[in-house]
Structure 1
Amino acid sequence: MARLAAFDMDGTLLMPDHHLGEQTLRTLRRLRNERQMTLAFATGRHVLEMRHVLGSIDLDAFLITGNGTRIHSMEGELLHRQDLTPDAAGIVIHQPWDTKASMHVFNDTGWLTEHDIPELLHAHVYSGFRYRLADFKRLSMDEVTKICFCGDHEDLSRLKIQLSEALGDKAFLCFSATDCLEVLPVGCNKGSALGKLSEHLGMTLQECMAFGDAMNDREMLSLVGQGLVMGNAMAQLKNELPHLPVIGHCSNQAVSHYLTHWLDTPNLTYSPE
């Protein structure tokens, strides 16, 4: 029986307008109140943003943020942190790349970028979280949590090859969306972070269920006892995890739909909405 439920945010819990549906929120509260399940939000978003989200919905949950670079308790205590090495951060930030993608740097102070790109703020309309403009040449390479590039998928795929050749085993690369390529610390992903959290809680990963839609969810979905793939998931994720069940689309609050079935009619075969 699952005791811990972990949820990706974008493309999973959040609808395409980046809002959390009321039906989804009611179902999450049912998990807490009726089954006493522990909840965790596992996301690429910054902990500062997620604290605002939790405060606005009045729901207790552990936070796995920055794609596993930070784990915080329900009380806000830092349980785990991992940063890029200064060497890896310096290579990515200071070396020229053959790409049109924009670069974004994250540390504990927030989200930093060199150019004003207002359209990127649309994904953060729910929280009001926003970037700060910074001169990367003057940025300290210490305590860089992660770096991401936003742009066209084909361009990012070519960039991934460049980064891989330059970094070798100094960092972990993954797509958190088709238009977002992440550079993360070695061994850092949502799956390894969820493993640390479950150990902290005295549970095993087999006692966890998890929901996700992108390649940064791959490790988490493959390691838990019950991994669920969104119907709107990246094709590559579905291809790499063909043994996992696929539920409905985030626009239809499919996580809520699935969990309502799991709570009320677990003896019946599940069918996506």
Structure 2
Amino acid sequence: MGKYRLLALDLDGTLLNDRSEISATNLEWVKRAVDAGVTVCVSTGRGFQSALPIAEQMNLDTPMITVNGGEIWTKPHSIHRRTLLDSGIVMRLHALAEKHDVWFWAYSTQDIYNKERWIGDTITTHWLKFGYYTENLTVLNEILQEIQTWDGLELTNSSPFNIEINPIGVSKASALEEVCRMLGYDMSEVVAIGDSLNDIAAIRAVGLGVAMGNAQEEVKAAADVVTGSNQENGVAAAIQKYVLRT
């Protein structure tokens, strides 16, 4: 076992290529890390249902972080902790999306909803995360400026064209701290790899923060090192060079 005991992997734009696939090379090096005794933890903005098949493809039975830390799983299907987003806030976020006529989505504990399929009963639903998407950056910035004035929210993104909203204090970093507490690891023993603003807190908080070659510039600036892009097996290269030091 080397210096690092836990590898936290973002999915979209990081482990997955632009076709949302794990390359054979990435899969091989994840398996090598697991075989070497490293705990590999999925750490994603996705909900559990869409993250699970990827964890299963890697044969992981380890903790998972979903919806940016809104859910922490001791292992697949075994929930450890959920942090809910206030239903009243979700109603306000939804109204803002309608006002600006942008695409939006929201995760509840049961399902995912969006502009094409919204829910009638917002108040009694248990919400986890809300997001906006538009390639009109002027409109996106107007939305961001508005919700930055609201209290109690954690604002990030998973692409330059979206905004993701969780309750204040919820992040991949805080979730990784809890995973480390569960496993008896120190944050200095963690490597976190990612590409977007929802990865920055974790990248700054762990022993080694790795930005993808395709990462947003702010993420690269926050990272200790930059690896190849998600089209160039950047995760495999980082595992090889920093985690296993082969």
Report the TM-score when normalising by structure 2.
Answer: 0.91
1:29-78, CA deviations, whole angstroms, 9 ceiling, x for partnerless residues? 11111x21111010011101122222344333321000100011225311
SS at structure 2 position matched to 1:16? coil
Provide the rounded CA distance (Å) in 2 between the counterparts of 1:48 and 1:164: 29
Q: Do residues 80 (structure 1) and 64 (structure 2) align?
A: no
Relative distance call for 1:259 and 1:97 in structure 2 (3 A) is same
Match of 1:237 in 2: 219
What's the C-alpha RMSD, in Å, of the aligned pairs? Answer: 1.9
Aligned partners of 2:101, 2:89: CA distance in 1, in Å?
21
Amino acid aligned to 2:201: E
- Residue aligning to 1:119: none
- Percent identity, please: 23
1:211-247: CA deviation from partner (whole Å, max 9, x where unpaired):
01100000000000011111110122224x1x62111
- Give the structure-1-normalised TM-score: 0.83
Q: 1:87 to 1:74 in 2, by over 3 A?
A: same
CA contact (8 A) 1:97 1:162 kept: no
Counterpart of 1:22 in structure 2: which amino acid? A
Distance change >3 Å, CA 32–CA 265, structure 1 → 2: closer
Unaligned runs of 5+ in 2: none
For 1:238, give the aligned amino acid.
K
| Structure 1 CA distance for aligned equivalents of residues 29 and 91 of structure 2 | 44
Number of matched residues?
A: 243
Pair 1:192-2:174 in alignment:
yes
Secondary structure of the 2:157 match is strand
Name the structure 2 match of 1:130: none
Counterpart contact for 2:7–2:40, Cα < 8 Å: yes
Q: Which runs of 5+ in 1 are unaligned?
A: 116-132, 267-273
- Counterpart in 1 of 2:127? 144
Map Cα deviations across residues 96-120 of structure 1 (whole Å, 9 max, x no partner): 66524212111111211132xxxxx
Q: How does 1:94-133 map to 2 (within 5 A)?
A: 94-95=95-96, 98-115=99-116, 133=117
Q: Give yes or no for the alignment of 1:5 onto 2:7.
A: yes
Q: Aligned partners of 1:203, 1:226: CA distance in 2, in Å? A: 14
Q: Which one-letter code corresponds to 2:43 in the other structure?
A: A
